C-alpha cells in the first residue's frame, strides 16, 4: 500500500453492496475500511428484505391456519393471529440477522468498520466524525432512502415508511398504502392476509408495468379476491387527521375529489439516492436525481472511485447489488476490467401469488 494512504480502499456504506465489495477487495489482499452511518447490513437486513420477508411469511402462515380452521382440520387453534406479537417477532428476526453480520465478524478477517458519516474533503480524503482518512480507491455504496411525495398535509400526520413500519407495537386495523409498485403490493398482500383492511392508492393506471401484463392481471384478481382495495389512476391530493384516522383526498382522471381513510398511512412510492453530506463535488464524482453516474464497469467520473448497489442503479435488487459489488471491487484493483451484465436478471415480487420472471416479456419480444 502507498504509505501516503491509510487504506487501499474505503467503502462508504455497509449494506449488501458495500460489504460484498469490501470482502472481495480484502480477499484480493487490499487493506479495507468500511464507513457506515447507521447499522451494518444496511437497508436489506434492517428495514427492507429481512423484515418484509418475515412479515410475508407470517401472513402466509396466518392464511394457511385460517384455511385449516375453515376445513375443520384444527382441534384447539382458532386461526386468529396475535397482532401485538407480529412486529416484536419481526424485530427479533432482524436482530438475529444483524448479529450474524456484526462489525466484529468483519474485523476478524481484516475489514475495519468505522461508524460515522463520511464526507469527501478532496478526491482522496474523507472526513468521518472529526477524523480524516486517506485512501487510494473508494467504492460508494450508500444505497437509497424512502422518497416522501409532496402531498399536502402528509408531513403533519404520523405516516409510516419501511424504516418506521416495524416499530409499531400492534397491527393497525386498517392501512392506506401510497404506491402500487413492488413494495406497495408486497405490503398490501401481507397486510391483507394478516387481517388488516388494506387500500392501495396508485397514480398510474397500470401496475408493475415492467412485468408481463397477463401475470400482473392474475395477481390483481387474487388481491381483489382477498379483499384488498386497489385505487389506480388515483392522484393523492391531501392528507389530514380526522377523529384519530388519516383521511386521504384523491382524484381520478379529472373526476371529482374522493376520500378514503384508515388508521395508518404507509408511504411506498419509491426511493431516492442517499447522497446527503457526501460532498461528491469535492471528489469530482458526478450524480443526478437517480444516483451516482457510472460507466458499464461501475467507475464514476473520478477514475479511482466506483459505485455499486442501489445508488448506482439501474435496478434496485439485492442480487444485482451483490453482483455489482464484485465487479466494482475487482475492477478497482485488477488490470482486466469486467462489465456489469444484467441480461440474466431475475425479478421476483413476494406477493401471493408471487410473480417471477427473467428476460423479455411478451410485449417486449
**pLDDT tens readout for residues 128-185:** 999 999 999 999 999 999 999 999 999 999 999 999 999 999 999 999 999 999 999 9
**Whether residue 294 is found in the same domain as residue 325:** yes
DSSP state of 156: G
Q: Is the dihedral of CA 302, 304, 305, 306 positive or negative?
A: positive
- Name residues whose C-beta falls within 8 Å of residue 364's C-beta, 6 or more positions apart in sequence: none
- Interatomic CA distance for residues 111 and 275, integer angstroms: 23
Where in the sequence is the domain holding 199, given as residue range(s)? 154-270+348-358
**Whether residue 314 is found in the same domain as residue 352:** no
Mean predicted lDDT score pLDDT of the chain: 95
8 Å CB contact between 111 and 20: no
8 Å CB contact between 123 and 303: no
Query: Residue 95: inside a domain, yes or no?
Result: no
CATH of the domain at 309: 3.50.50.60
Total structural domains in the chain? 2
- Interatomic CA distance for residues 316 and 48, integer angstroms: 12
The CA-atom distances, in angstroms, between 287 and each of 67, 313, 323 are 51, 12, 21
**pLDDT tier for residue 79 given thresholds of 50, 70 and 90:** low
List the alpha helices (DSSP H) in the chain: 16-27, 42-46, 49-70, 83-100, 103-107, 182-193, 213-225, 318-333
Query: Residue 138: inside a domain, yes or no?
Result: yes
**Whether residue 141 is found in the same domain as residue 22:** yes
**pLDDT tier for residue 50 given thresholds of 50, 70 and 90:** very high
- Interatomic CA distance for residues 133 and 118, integer angstroms: 10
- The tens digit of pLDDT for each residue in 316-345 reads 999 999 999 999 999 999 999 999 999 999
**Whether residue 190 is found in the same domain as residue 200:** yes
**Whether residue 200 is found in the same domain as residue 323:** no
Show the CA angle centred on residue 361, arms to residues 356 and 363, nearest 5°. Answer: 145
Find cell 416522501 and name the residue.
148
Query: Residue 236: inside a domain, yes or no?
Result: yes
**Whether residue 105 is found in the same domain as residue 116:** yes
**Whether residue 135 is found in the same domain as residue 169:** no
- Name residues whose C-beta falls within 8 Å of residue 83's C-beta, 6 or more positions apart in sequence: 170, 171, 194, 195
Query: Residue 161: inside a domain, yes or no?
Result: yes
Proportion of the chain above pLDDT 90, given as a percent: 88
3-state secondary structure of 318: helix
Query: Residue 363: inside a domain, yes or no?
Result: no
- When pLDDT is averaged across residues 208-219 and rounded to a whole number, the result is 94
**Whether residue 14 is found in the same domain as residue 132:** yes
- What does the pLDDT read at residue 81? 77
Amino acid at each position: 500500500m502507498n504509505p501516503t494512504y491509510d487504506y487501499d480502499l474505503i467503502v462508504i456504506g455497509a449494506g449488501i453492496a458495500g460489504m460484498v465489495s469490501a470482502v472481495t477487495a480484502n480477499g484480493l489482499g487490499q487493506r479495507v475500511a468500511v464507513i457506515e452511518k447507521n447499522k451494518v447490513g444496511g437497508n436489506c437486513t434492517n428495514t427492507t428484505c429481512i423484515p418484509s420477508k418475515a412479515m410475508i411469511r407470517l401472513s402466509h402462515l396466518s392464511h394457511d391456519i385460517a384455511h385449516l380452521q375453515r376445513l375443520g382440520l384444527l382441534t384447539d387453534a382458532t386461526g386468529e393471529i396475535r397482532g401485538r406479537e407480529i412486529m416484536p417477532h419481526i424485530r427479533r428476526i432482524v436482530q438475529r440477522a444483524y448479529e450474524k453480520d456484526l462489525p466484529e465478524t468483519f474485523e476478524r478477517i481484516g475489514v475495519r468498520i468505522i461508524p460515522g458519516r463520511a464526507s469527501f474533503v478532496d478526491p482522496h480524503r474523507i472526513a468521518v466524525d472529526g477524523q480524516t482518512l486517506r485512501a487510494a480507491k473508494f467504492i460508494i455504496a450508500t444505497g437509497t432512502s424512502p422518497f416522501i411525495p409532496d402531498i399536502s398535509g402528509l408531513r403533519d400526520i404520523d405516516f409510516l415508511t419501511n424504516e418506521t413500519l416495524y416499530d409499531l407495537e400492534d397491527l393497525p386495523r386498517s392501512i392506506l398504502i401510497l404506491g402500487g409498485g413492488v413494495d406497495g403490493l408486497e405490503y398490501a398482500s401481507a397486510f391483507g392476509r394478516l387481517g388488516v383492511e388494506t387500500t392501495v392508492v396508485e397514480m398510474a393506471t397500470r401496475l408493475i408495468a415492467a412485468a408481463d401484463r397477463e401475470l400482473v392481471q392474475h395477481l390483481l384478481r387474487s388481491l381483489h379476491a382477498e379483499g384488498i382495495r386497489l385505487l389506480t389512476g388515483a392522484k393523492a391530493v391531501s392528507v389530514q387527521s380526522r377523529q384519530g384516522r388519516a383521511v386521504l383526498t384523491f382524484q381520478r382522471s379529472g373526476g371529482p375529489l374522493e376520500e378514503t381513510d384508515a388508521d395508518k398511512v404507509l408511504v411506498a412510492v419509491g426511493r431516492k439516492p442517499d447522497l446527503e453530506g457526501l460532498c461528491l463535488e469535492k471528489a469530482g464524482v458526478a450524480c443526478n436525481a437517480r444516483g451516482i453516474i457510472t460507466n458499464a464497469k461501475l467507475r464514476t467520473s473520478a477514475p479511482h472511485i466506483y459505485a455499486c448497489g442501489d445508488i448506482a442503479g439501474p435496478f434496485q435488487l439485492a442480487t444485482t447489488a451483490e453482483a455489482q459489488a464484485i465487479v466494482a471491487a475487482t475492477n478497482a484493483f485488477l488490470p482486466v476490467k469486467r462489465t456489469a451484465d444484467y441480461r440474466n436478471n431475475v425479478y421476483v415480487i413476494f406477493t401471493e401469488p408471487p410473480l417471477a420472471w427473467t428476460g423479455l416479456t411478451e410485449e417486449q419480444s
